[in-house]
Structure 1
Amino acid sequence: MVDLPAIIMPLGDTPWTILMKSRELLPAVEELLGARKAEDAWTAFARQALRRGFPHQLYVARRVLRGMGEHVILDGVELSSLPYPLAREIVNRKLMDHVPMRRWIVRNQGAQSFDWARRRRLAGRLTASEALALEIFEQFGHGAGMALSLADRAPRLRGGILFLAGVGASQEMVDARWSHAGRELELLANLLHQRLAQLPYRRAEEVLTIRQREALELTGLGLSTQDIAERMKVSVATVEKHLRLARKALGAKTTTHAVLIACSRGVIFVDPGEACSMQPPDPDLGQIDTPWNFVSFEQPGQPAGNA
């Protein structure tokens, strides 16, 4: 008879409590997986962190492309549920890149308490900006917290999350809450990170016009400028104008570069977030299985307004 491995449970957990935690976690996972916008995913995550004793979070990430020795940071993603006065002070002083634990996050994996930053401060190993940011957090009653590195959890997106308890919470209180709910929060944070790697965090129309998006999408599909002009029912010069303005809006050097940036940011080939539905079978054709139906997908290259 083969011996089955024993199930190792944390102290204090019973099969019943594990089952109950799983039932509580499942809706949270489903909500994150179902989010079709970055703000929806963030709201769902923040709600779950609050339920587990961490009402304030700060997520910071950078989209990175590497190839043939080139290393390019495309843009940043910053999402916050910090108290407004604290967030305003950090932004006004341009300290977002120096918040507590950022140095640890970009060089490590896993979770670490704010004690790490305080030890470095005592040893004189914080930069002036790092020390100032930590001091500001403490002044607003948030000198204790946990940092979670998400360094390798999503392709081309590097980042981390700070978890803060209520105002005046001690590090001992934070550590106790993390020991109880840390694994669940790590799971949800990793899932959030992966969803944000795929979802646009700015509406496409805030970055490119509809015509610019159409021109880039058709370029990405392999069409020539002449073909794009015929598809969009405009002149070649107008297509070139749209591509030039798209490159400028994206900070791209070439049209190929613009397509790459736009794809990575999720501003072309945009999924509108519509749920799919099965088309009813056509009895005259004897069809049993039919394709999924999407009512409002925008077709690339369709005329939309004035050129």
Structure 2
Amino acid sequence: MTPELRTYLTDLTNAPTIEILWAMHCERMADYGFDRLLYGFTRFLTLTSLGDPNDFVLLTNHSQSYMDTFIGEGLYAQAPMVTWALENEGACSWRVLAQLMDQGRLSPAARRVVEFNLRQHVTAGYSVSFKSISSRAKGAIALTARAGTDQADVDATWDQHGNDIVLMNNLVHLKILTLPYMPPNQSLTRRQREALEWVGDGKTTQDIAQIMGLTQGTIEKHLRLAREAMNVDTTAQAVMKAAFQNQMFVLEA
């Protein structure tokens, strides 16, 4: 490991927010020719679903129009490299897509995803699927090479720097899991977060009212709004989801 890479990895581990971490990572990956990244993580994986997209941790520098189609219209669910990431760990060259196409092993839905990506100049790159110890959790990142780059050139870059690139992406993934992530329309106010924290500590509504110096009715309102923000039915689910997103017991949220 070079001193420069060691310094960069140290800076990554000290990143105080996901936004700063992601900006650092996008800039670094661009140095290797990957100018568009898409990171995804779910804790709600089942045998038949990745869970609600609203519950994903999604980070990207792709265009909004790309994301509106790929995620918003559900293309990700049929994307061949997403399927690969769910079934494997480690790194994979996108040359496998050409092989699957040539062998006629892609479903019509998967072919439509590939054709959409071709139109968006998402044609060459690598995917990294991260190791998970939970059957409900999975994370991966797609590294898209600059438009016009040949996959052979990407593979040559990977042959030279692939180990370092995987190391950096693994570290970014692990760091993301420690930082607060607030999806659109799911962030909590300070009072909502505090009320959920006390629920997580086993306090009753009456206890929380006394601790926070508020009425029980106000505490119940904070908890109701927290459930709505988290898009869940019960306070216990809100506590779990907020904990997954690292929105609870943080020094700054």
TM range (shorter): 0.7 to 0.9
- 1:201 is paired with a residue whose SS is coil
| Structure with bigger RCO (C-alpha 8 Å, 6+ apart) | 2
Please report how far the alpha carbon of residue 82 of structure 1 lies from its aligned counterpart in structure 2 after TM superposition: 2.9
Structure 1 length normalisation: TM-score?
A: 0.72
Contact preservation (8 Å) 1:141, 1:169:
no
Alignment correspondent of 2:165: 185
Alignment correspondent of 1:159: 139
Contact preservation (8 Å) 1:154, 1:197:
no
Please report how far the alpha carbon of residue 201 of structure 1 lies from its aligned counterpart in structure 2 after TM superposition: 2.1
User: How many residue pairs are counted as aligned between the two chains?
Assistant: 249
Contact preservation (8 Å) 1:154, 1:194:
no
Alpha-carbon spacing, 1:219–1:73, altered in 2? closer, same or farther (3 Å): same
**Residue ranges of structure 2 left out of the alignment (5+ in a row):** none
Cα deviations by residue, 1:261-301 (Å, 9 ceiling, x for unpaired): 1111122212228xxxxxxxxxxxxxxxxxxxxxxxxxxxx
Alignment correspondent of 2:215: 235
Contact preservation (8 Å) 1:63, 1:157:
yes
Alignment correspondent of 1:23: 3
Give aligned-pair identity as a percent: 33
Give the number of the structure whose residues are more often helix, by fraction. Answer: 2
- 1:239 is paired with a residue whose SS is helix
Q: Displaced runs of 4+ in structure 1, greater than 6 A? A: 153-156
What's the C-alpha RMSD, in Å, of the aligned pairs? 2.8
Please report how far the alpha carbon of residue 117 of structure 1 lies from its aligned counterpart in structure 2 after TM superposition: 2.0
Alpha-carbon spacing, 1:59–1:268, altered in 2? closer, same or farther (3 Å): same
Contact preservation (8 Å) 1:105, 1:147:
yes
Alignment correspondent of 2:95: 115
Larger Rg, first or second structure (1 or 2): 1
- 2:142 is paired with a residue whose SS is strand
Q: Give the letter for the 2:170 counterpart.
A: N
- 2:248 is paired with a residue whose SS is coil
Alpha-carbon spacing, 1:166–1:83, altered in 2? closer, same or farther (3 Å): farther
Which of 20, 29, 32 is the aligned partner of 1:40? 20
**Residue ranges of structure 1 left out of the alignment (5+ in a row):** 1-20, 274-307
Contact preservation (8 Å) 2:37, 2:143:
yes
Please report how far the alpha carbon of residue 152 of structure 1 lies from its aligned counterpart in structure 2 after TM superposition: 2.1
Q: Give the letter for the 2:60 counterpart.
A: S
Please report how far the alpha carbon of residue 88 of structure 1 lies from its aligned counterpart in structure 2 after TM superposition: 5.2
Whole-angstrom CA distance in 2 between matches of 1:110 and 1:26: 22
Contact preservation (8 Å) 2:129, 2:141:
yes
